[in-house]
Each structure stands twice: as structure tokens, then as C-alpha cells.
Amino acid sequence: MDLAPAPVLGNSFARDVPEMALPWQADDAPEPRLLALNEPLAAELGLDAAALRSPGGLRLLVGTAVPDGATPVAQAYAGHQFGGFVPRLGDGRALLLGEVADADGRLRDLALKGSGRTPFARGGDGLAAVGPMLREYVISEAMHALGIPTTRSLSVVATGRPVRRETLLPGAVLARVASSHLRVGSFQYARATGDADLLRRLADHAITRHHPAAADAERPALALYEAVVAAQASLVARWMLVGFVHGVMNTDNMTISGETIDYGPCAFMDAYDPATVYSSIDTGGRYAYGNQPVVAQWDLARLAEALLPLLHEDEEQAVPLAVEALGAFAPQYEAAWTAGMRAKLGLPDDVDDAAVRALAEQLLALLHSGHVDLTSAFRLLGGAARDDAEPVRRLVLDLAAFDDWLARWRALGPDPGLMDRVNPVYVPRNHLVEEALEAATDGDLAPFDRLLDAVTSPYVVRPGLERYAAPAPQDFGVYRTFCGT
């Protein structure tokens, strides 16, 4: 390939668990055209942005030319999808190109999505359309800018190959960067094979990569499990604090690293309502906003089941160890959520946790009953802490109850500067995302670029970006998102 210097792509996953790494090639992309390139992320990975823009760079980003010695693989995994176990899912339209050492010396996966059918594709075409890949790009980068652990998006390249969905759409490949693609479903796959050695090698690989301190613990697999529980408790609390709805929290979409992964039917909530569901296939509301902490625990229980043989030689003793470790989720989640709400409400340390939680819950109840936009409400509260309560008062319905809440909150001395550092002005609002993706699908990337610019610097108000800070227009209607698109 003509990309100089060519990145060195490691293959520790394929080496450690070859049974779960199927060497595979990306499909040809007849006319690769760069739609988005994340230059700061490229720099973190030691990749030269100008080289990535070159024809050789684009071939790397769609997987048709990989550096010498690299072996792209489709990863095997299992998963509970909407509660039902599927023993063999795997990368149906994705490839792990390899692992790159970043500027801090950490290994990061470089992977593709939409690069063609693999042996795991089942009925799927292995492809992805421009809209959903740009959607993952903008939402994952917004999450990163909000400080929420997530896989990153390096690029989206249009392939020049049409994709058949309800209509013919332009195809694209997303290049994704992750601290790994190990999922709860990866462990379920290893466990379901019945190969105890494979399960152990997978756990050792995960420990080395994500939770190296666990290697020195008396029970390394238990320490790994505890670390995953803690990482997910913190992650889901972060989602809840910004109103993020993942939409498809199947066990194959939950990472071991604690990064958010697989941006399919996800969306940021507009008006606050715990019952919010966007995904068209989530008819039962299993993955509704308010269910996310409970579902995360359910998924983590499946991880415990998969790890059971490694937790203790005697399964009867392994179960209580797992139960105890999973029991840490609720208090860890609550602590992370309370700390987050303390900051969002600008409350000083001397206000006790119970008071923070009570105030936050009362506020959320008011937002719920008044159908108030979550992002705007918290951001405008910063003004109320500066004696300008009118903008936030204009959002609420029950003014008597809200004024009472404001008086009690203000008496605690909220710090507006702190609030402005944690309450975003710009999140990828659904109406803006749809508008940007529709234009991009028709060949106009300007709205996408403007939206990306707004949401990747989310905390500082910028003149000219007023419409990116405003709630959805009344006529936007009921928002629906689609999976596997």
C-alpha cells in the first residue's frame, strides 16, 4: 500500500483467542470518497491525516488495502438480543483491522463497519448506508466531547456502492476506534463453546488490556468482573445524566472496557420522560431511558454466568461471589449519578447526598410533568443560579411548584460556573441529526459539518449556533430510530 508511514497493526486478539478471530477481507469499494475524517483522533493514533486523505489512505479506511503483516478478522461473539440468547452473532458487517498503539502507548482497535458480508452475516448484506454511519460518527464524537467513555469514529468513507434498504441508498464504511471490541457477548460465546481454556485465555486477554490490576488479585476473573461492573455503573450513570438512550442494550452491545458501543437506534432525549423509547423494534420498551440501569445489571448478570467457571473451582461457591460483585452495581451507580447531579445542580460538597438526590428527583418530576427539554432545562438553570431565572421558568408549566423548588435550591448556594462546565448547550438533537443525515445522503455535507462542530464543543455558548441550542420544534413529532440499518 502507498500510505507512508503505514500504521503498524497488532493482532493480540487473534493471537490470544484465534478461535474467535476469523481472517476475512473487506469488499471492494468501487469509488471511495471521504465524507468525514477525525484529524485529532488520527493524530492520537500517530496517523498522518494528509496520508489518510490520499487514495492509499482511503483504501485503508475501507479495508481494501491493509499494511503488510496485518490480518483483518471478523470477531465471533454471542449475545442476548431482547432477552433471547443467540449463541453465534459475530461481526456480520464489521472487521477488526488490528490494534494500534496510541500516543499514550495504549492499544486501540481499528475496525470497520459496513465493509461487506462475513461468515457471521446471516441474512444481512454486510453493508451500511451513509446516513447511519455518519450518525454513529456524530453521536459518538458528541459523547466523547461530553466526557463519556465511548468508541470513537475515525472516518466515514462513501464506497460508491449502493445499499438496498427501503430505497437504494449510498453505501459507506465507518472506521471505528475502540479500546477493544470485547463484549459481554464475547464471553458468552467463549463459555458456550464449553472450552474452558478459551474462556480463560479470553479473560486473561481482557485483564491485560483493560483491567491489568486484576492480574494480581487473588481471583483475577472475579476482579475483572468487579471492574466491569464498576465501569458500567459509572457509564450508565453518565448516560442518564445527559439523557442518552442507547436503544439496544443487548449483551453483544455492552463492552468490557466500559465504553459506549454500537450507535444504532440511540438518541438524546428531548422532553424528559423515563418511558422514552426511540427504537422502532423496541415495542415493549425494554430499553427505555428509565430502564437502562436495570438492563445494565441484567446484562452484567449474563457476564457473571459466562465467567462462573473462572470465579471459583466449585460452582456452588462461584455463585455467591458473582452475586456479591453484581450487588456493587446499584450503590456504585447511585454514587455516580448523585455526584453527577451534584455538579449539574452546582451544589457544594457540604450538601449531603440525600439532599442532592431529593432535589434532583423533585426537579426531574417537574420536568416530566411539564414535558420540559432536559438539556435546555439544566443549562438554563445556570442562569437561575445567577439570578436570571426567567429563561428556565419559561420552560416549565407548574410555576408555583417550580418557584418553590428554585427557592430551596438557591438557598444551598449553587455555583453557576460549575454548572456551565457540566451542563451542555449543544447535544445532537434528533431533529438536527435527521436534517444533517438527510442532506448528507443527498450529497450536501454542510449541515453535518455544522452539527459536528456544535456538538464537539458542547459547553461554551457560541453566537450563531442558537438553533443548535434550541429544543425540537413543536411539529417534529414522534421520533423513531432504526437498528442494523
CB of 287 to ligand AMP, least distance (A): 12
**Which segment (123-131, 200-208, 277-285, 455-463) binds ligand AMP by CB under 6 A?**
123-131
**Interface characters, 243-262, with ligand AMP (x: CB under 6 A):** -----x---xx--------x
Binding status of residue 124 toward ligand AMP by CB under 6 A:
yes
Number of H helices, E strands in the chain: 19, 11
Q: Which does 245 bind (CB under 5 to 8 A by kind): Mg ion, ligand AMP, none?
A: none
Nearer to ligand AMP, 81 or 362 (CB): 81
**Letter string b/e over residues 136-148, b meaning 16 or more CB atoms within 10 A of that residue's CB:** bbbbbbbbbbbeb
**Which segment (207-215, 235-243, 254-262, 448-456) binds Mg ion by CB under 5 A?**
254-262
Question: Residues in contact with ligand AMP, total (CB under 6 A)?
Answer: 19
Q: How far, in whole angstroms, is CA 54 from its chain's centroid? A: 29
How many C-beta atoms surround the C-beta of residue 227 within 10 A? Answer: 22
Positions annotated as catalytic residues are: 252
Spatial separation of the C-alpha atoms in residues 425 and 468, rounded to whole Å: 8
Q: Which does 92 bind (CB under 5 to 8 A by kind): Mg ion, ligand AMP, none?
A: ligand AMP
Element (H, E) at 229: helix 220-242
**Which segment (38-46, 117-125, 228-236, 346-354) binds ligand AMP by CB under 6 A?**
117-125
The single-letter code of the amino acid at 467 is R
Binding status of residue 262 toward Mg ion by CB under 5 A:
yes
CB of 57 to ligand AMP, least distance (A): 25
Spatial separation of the C-alpha atoms in residues 59 and 173, rounded to whole Å: 11
Between β-strands 84-86 and 152-164, what pairing exists: parallel, antiparallel or unpaired?
unpaired
Q: Which does 247 bind (CB under 5 to 8 A by kind): ligand AMP, Mg ion, none?
A: none
Binding status of residue 91 toward Mg ion by CB under 5 A:
no
Region for 248 from its dihedrals, namely left if φ exceeds 0, alpha if ψ lies in -120 to 50, beta otherwise: beta
Binding status of residue 89 toward ligand AMP by CB under 6 A:
yes
How many C-beta atoms surround the C-beta of residue 394 within 10 A? Answer: 10
Q: Which does 91 bind (CB under 5 to 8 A by kind): Mg ion, ligand AMP, none?
A: ligand AMP
Helix axes 353-369, 329-344, angle to 10 degrees: 70
Phi, then psi, of 27 in degrees rounded to 5: -70, 160
Binding status of residue 125 toward ligand AMP by CB under 6 A:
yes
Q: Which does 341 bind (CB under 5 to 8 A by kind): ligand AMP, Mg ion, none?
A: none
- Rule CB under 5 A: choose which of 253, 257, 260, 423 binds Mg ion: 253
Spatial separation of the C-alpha atoms in residues 213 and 133, rounded to whole Å: 35
Q: Which residues bind ligand AMP (CB under 6 A)?
A: 89-94, 120-121, 124-127, 248, 252-253, 262, 264, 483-484
